[in-house]
Amino acid sequence: MSAIYALGLLGIVAVLFLLLTIVFRAEKRAVWPFGELEATPAFGDPSGYATRWVNEATQAGWRMLGWARHLGSGTAAFRVNYAIMVSPQHDTIAVIGTGTVFERIPLRATWLWTPTAEGRTVYSTDNQSGVQIDLSRDWKGQLAPAPAFGLLAAQHQAWMRGLGVMPAGQFTPGHEFAELLAMRQEHFRAMERAGLIRYADALATHFHFTFWGAARTATWSYLVGMLRALTGGRIPRTA
């Protein structure tokens, strides 16, 4: 009987990974999710998450570039704001996201993006929903649950020191948003070169995972998510 149970469990796992692969393969994703910068958020922040984290970042010397709504926002199903900020050293961009997806699913996540001297990018996020697994290794990320912006920023700096990576340099004042776009465009070109994605349009604004890219990314994302859930984000530290 134990062998039958084991086979049944393996069958369930196989079906789960197949379903995840189908979802990853079918979904069309945006290279650039941000709308034009605005002076104020387009939607409210009932949770207070973005308001609190933006205030903490401002007090720490981070400069606000503006608020961007998620492209496609505006319907009841998708109402998301992003605060875009740059670090005092001008080498890291923070994206503080808040809102709702499909009306009821809350989004509260922050990303700290730092281009590195070796031509790649490292990022830290405080929420599992912000994790973006990249098997091309152009992006490396850590999940660092933190109750405050300053703690996430400190963990980001400590993690980079542990990896032995150095920032590539400073974002150009007045051009930070455009340079963030260029960083993302290069990232997805790296994923295309690795055979993980194919662009869905001639302008390369959206993409689909290839079947092989979907299978690998979905499987690894699930396993990493499970391990991090069990270890509070500590294992694996970098993914």
In contact, 50 and 96? CB cutoff 8 Å: yes
Does the pLDDT at position 221 exceed 70?
Answer: yes
pLDDT level of residue 19 (50, 70, 90 thresholds)? confident
DSSP state of 196: S
What is the Cα–Cα distance from 196 to 135, expressed in whole angstroms? 8
pLDDT at residue 11, rounded to an integer: 61
Residues 146-183: tens digit of each pLDDT: 999 999 999 999 999 999 999 999 999 999 999 999 99
In contact, 93 and 113? CB cutoff 8 Å: yes
What is the Cα–Cα distance from 22 to 44, expressed in whole angstroms? 34
Question: Which residues, in sequence order, are bridge partners of residue 191?
Answer: none
What is the Cα–Cα distance from 20 to 191, expressed in whole angstroms? 19
Domain boundaries, the chain: 22-231
pLDDT at residue 170, rounded to an integer: 94
Question: Which residues, in sequence order, are bridge partners of residue 122?
Answer: 114, 140
Residues in Cβ contact with 164 at an 8 Å cutoff, skipping those fewer than 6 apart:
none
Residues in Cβ contact with 83 at an 8 Å cutoff, skipping those fewer than 6 apart:
41, 50, 53, 54, 64, 67, 94, 95, 96, 97
Question: Which residues, in sequence order, are bridge partners of residue 123?
Answer: 113, 141
DSSP state of 181: H
pLDDT level of residue 73 (50, 70, 90 thresholds)? low
Does the pLDDT at position 9 exceed 60?
Answer: no
